[in-house]
């Protein structure tokens, strides 16, 4: 298990290094610059700004300097938010995204598994068809459609919940964005768990357990559920990172001060370091949760360690 974990950890570090390198190159090679605006700067002022931020140096020198900063935990200065470091901007928005994402992840896991297990237990019956029909519909509706619909119904129409804003961070302000963010993942987890559980329940060792007269509920929870969770855990690795770091669409729709807002503003303003900083943070979450998912999957199914 230790060897398996070290191999996955090394692969994760290599993946993050490639992500940083490719993102750095693509951002710097994109047309335009952080000091381009509707009103052009004086050449002398532009040269001073580029010298101040090190943009007058060769690209390879900038790349090595950025990597050195990352190793020290420094994402560099923001080009548009003067007197602010990128780390400070990300630190101000990340707790909001994490709070909403953690609630959405919990909802996706528990509700998705409950729907999937119930549907597999009542396979090919009316309840199964109703639950899977709901899952297909929920997964088919994109966030940029679902979020305004929730606002229209529960905020504008019924007036039960606020239409946007973070407020005091209470459940009343977070319920709509959490549901809008979680619902597609609830549907995906439900469909995956149902499909995996149906396949496991048809296997020979489950038939042998039933032939020994074990109660159906014991067969389901003790013998079938653990191997059926492997594909769900594999899916939840990258999904957890996407949920926990928030969604650009959700944060924009509900006017939430998360890192999605900084990513959008940084892209619009060509703020190299801010965009790259958000990419590194999100990429780090993806690598970490994929690593965690691999460990959990290997614990659930020891055969995975041999791959």
Terminal Cα distance for the chain, rounded:
12
d(CA 210, CA 192): 24
Residue 222: the pLDDT is 66
Ordered per-residue pLDDT tens for the chain, 307 residues: 677 777 777 877 788 888 888 888 887 776 665 655 545 555 666 666 666 666 667 777 778 877 887 888 777 777 777 777 877 888 877 888 888 888 888 888 888 888 888 887 778 788 878 888 888 888 788 777 888 888 888 877 777 777 777 777 677 778 888 888 888 888 888 888 888 887 777 776 667 766 776 666 776 666 677 777 777 777 777 777 777 666 777 877 787 777 777 777 777 777 777 888 888 888 888 788 777 777 776 766 666 555 5
Residue 175 in domain:
yes
Distance between CA atoms of residues 247 and 43, nearest Å: 39
pLDDT at res. 45? 61
Nearest 5°: phi and psi at 287? -65, -45
pTM over 0.95: no
pLDDT at residue 259 in the model: 78
Dist. CA 1–CA 306, nearest whole Å: 10
- Whether 171 is covered by a domain: the verdict is yes
Alpha-helical runs (H) found in the chain: 2-29, 43-52, 59-71, 86-121, 126-140, 143-150, 171-201, 204-211, 216-218, 225-244, 248-253, 259-268, 272-300
Q: Is residue 48 part of a domain?
A: no
- In a domain? residue 75: no
56 within some domain: no
The predicted pLDDT at position 89 comes to 80
Give a yes or no: residue 280 inside a domain.
no
Burial of residue 33 (CB within 10 Å: 0-12, 13-18, 19+) is middle
8-state DSSP, 224: I
Q: Please count the structural domains in the chain.
A: 1
pLDDT in tens, 205-217: 667 766 776 666 7
Indicate whether 46 belongs to any domain.
Answer: no
pLDDT of 48-74, one tens digit each?
666 666 666 777 777 887 788 788 877
Q: What is the CATH number of the domain that holds 163?
A: 1.10.3720.10
Domain containing residue 174: 88-268
User: Residue 262 and residue 109: Cα distance in Å, rounded?
Assistant: 28
In a domain, 243, yes or no: yes
């Amino acid at each position: 298990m230790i060897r398996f974990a070290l191999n996955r950890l090394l692969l994760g570090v290599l993946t993050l290094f490639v992500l940083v390198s490719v993102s750095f190159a693509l951002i710097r090679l994109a047309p335009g610059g952080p000091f381009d605006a509707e009103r052009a700067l004086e050449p002398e002022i532009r040269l001073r700004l580029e010298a101040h931020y090190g943009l007058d140096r060769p690209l390879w020198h900038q790349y090595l300097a950025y990597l050195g900063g990352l190793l020290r935990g420094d994402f560099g200065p923001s080009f548009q938010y003067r007197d602010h470091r990128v780390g400070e901007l990300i630190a101000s928005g990340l707790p909001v995204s994490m709070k909403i994402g953690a609630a959405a992840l919990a909802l996706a896991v528990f509700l998705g598994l409950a729907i999937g297990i119930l549907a597999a237990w009542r396979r090919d019956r009316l309840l199964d068809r109703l639950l899977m029909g709901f899952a297909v519909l929920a997964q088919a509706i994109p966030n940029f459609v679902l979020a305004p619909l929730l606002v229209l119904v529960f905020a504008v129409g019924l007036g039960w919940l606020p239409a946007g804003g973070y407020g005091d961070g209470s459940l009343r302000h977070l319920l709509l964005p959490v549901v809008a963010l979680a619902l597609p993942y609830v549907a995906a987890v439900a469909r995956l768990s149902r499909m995996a559980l149906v396949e496991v329940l048809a296997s020979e060792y489950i038939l042998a357990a039933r032939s020994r007269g074990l109660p159906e509920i014991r067969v389901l929870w003790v013998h079938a559920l653990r191997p059926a969770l492997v594909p769900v855990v594999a899916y939840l690795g990258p999904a957890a990172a996407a949920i926990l770091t928030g969604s650009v669409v959700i944060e924009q729709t509900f006017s939430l001060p998360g890192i999605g807002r900084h990513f959008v503003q940084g892209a619009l303003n060509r703020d190299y370091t801010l965009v790259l900083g958000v990419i590194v943070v999100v990429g780090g979450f993806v690598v970490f949760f994929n690593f965690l998912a691999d460990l959990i999957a290997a614990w659930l199914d020891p055969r995975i360690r041999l791959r």
